[in-house]
Amino acid sequence: MKQLLKTLTETFGPSGFEDEVRKVILKEVKPFADETRVDALGNLIARRKPVKSAKNPKKIMLAAHMDEIGVVASHIDKRGFVRFTNVGAAFGRYTLGARVRFMNGVTGVVGYDRLENFDGVLPINKMYIDVGATSQKDCPVKAGDFGAFERSFIEMGKRLVAKSMDNRAGVAVLIETLRNIKSTQNDLYFVFTTQEEVGVRGAGSAAYSIDPDIGIAIDTTPTGDTPASLKMTMELGKGPCVKIRDVGMLADPRVVDWMIQTAEKAKIPHQREVLLIGSTDARAIQISRAGVMAGALSIPCRYTHSASEMVDFDDLKNSVKLLTAMLNKSVPL
């Protein structure tokens, strides 16, 4: 799974431009899926059908978003500096000094107009990307060009660091879970969604098409285990998090109980997640059509929405174990 995660995180794919990531995923899932398709918004849907003897199989949608945060050029000044805006929640505190790669392969470094308050909040509208140009004419970037952070994958013991761990970590977990499912009593839809970072758009259209009985998002979640962090219980290395609440949704208590009881029975370490910032694809799934019983399994992640997001390898492995244990058997809901 580490090599898969390295490949996924180092693949370019900001919101709306998930094509290259989708190619990597399709190659991995096709041998294990009964059917695959790509919908109009670019979601990759891999279906695993129930065994013929299954009685009243539940239709379950599992969603992990493929896209990553990024930038889009908005203006090129006369000296060739690229002004930009964010694609998704790219935070100013992480953006200054970062390296950016545009779709045409051009790389640049993020600079700032003038730092008057070194400890203050850094607004993105005061930043620019230096791509080595000397004038507007010789700048290889044009307004409307999309880019993403450029940073390689590294291992720090059990801790894995890369850009776009949000949510290529979730993608890797979903791929490994599909590989582990030998047979199932359920009708499973493994959905690798687009444009989550800009408003959970892909998940909404996919859920409308699939019309699942149950929806589960697999995503990363910020932790509360760093100095002076928000007071949240999620920690690296303590197991996957069962979402109870975030800014966008209240997880269905039936799904929460199913996840926790499965983890306890299988003796899989897990955490209870009450997230104070952000949301996931589960928000869009939950309110699709006439409503869906929905929840989320989250992977603890430090430095979310930076170019160096950190996860723990044991949490990834235990996420796969928990999902596999849940999906192999009939759903008790």
Query: Using one digit for the tens of pLDDT, what is the confidence trace for 112-167?
Result: 997 776 666 788 889 999 999 999 999 999 999 999 999 999 999 999 999 999 99
**From CA 90, how far away is CA 261, in angstroms rounded?**
36
68 carries an active-site annotation: no
Q: What is the mean pLDDT of residues 172-184?
A: 96
- Is residue 219 predicted with pLDDT exceeding 80? yes
Closest C-alpha among 210, 202, 164 to residue 16: 202
Mean model confidence pLDDT for the chain: 95
Query: Using one digit for the tens of pLDDT, what is the confidence trace for 47-81?
Result: 999 999 888 899 999 999 999 999 999 999 999 99
Do the beta carbons of residue 244 and residue 253 sit within 8 Å?
A: no
Active-site hit among 18, 68, 176, 196: 196
Radius of gyration for the chain, computed over Cα atoms and rounded to the nearest angstrom: 20
Written as six digits, the tokens of 25 are 């995923």
pLDDT for position 117: 65
Q: DSSP 3-state assignment of 168?
A: helix
pLDDT for position 4: 97
Q: Which domains, and CATH codes, for the chain?
A: 2-68+163-328 (3.40.630.10), 70-149 (2.40.30.40)
Query: Using one digit for the tens of pLDDT, what is the confidence trace for 220-256?
Result: 999 999 998 888 989 999 999 999 999 999 999 999 9
Written as six digits, the tokens of 321 are 């174990």
Q: Tell me the helix, strand and coil percentages in the chain, rounded to 5.
A: 25, 30, 45
Q: What is the mean pLDDT of residues 290-315?
A: 97
Q: Grade residue 90 by pLDDT with cuts at 50, 70 and 90.
A: confident
Q: What is the mean pLDDT of residues 170-192?
A: 96
**Pairing status of strand 293-301 against strand 214-222:** parallel
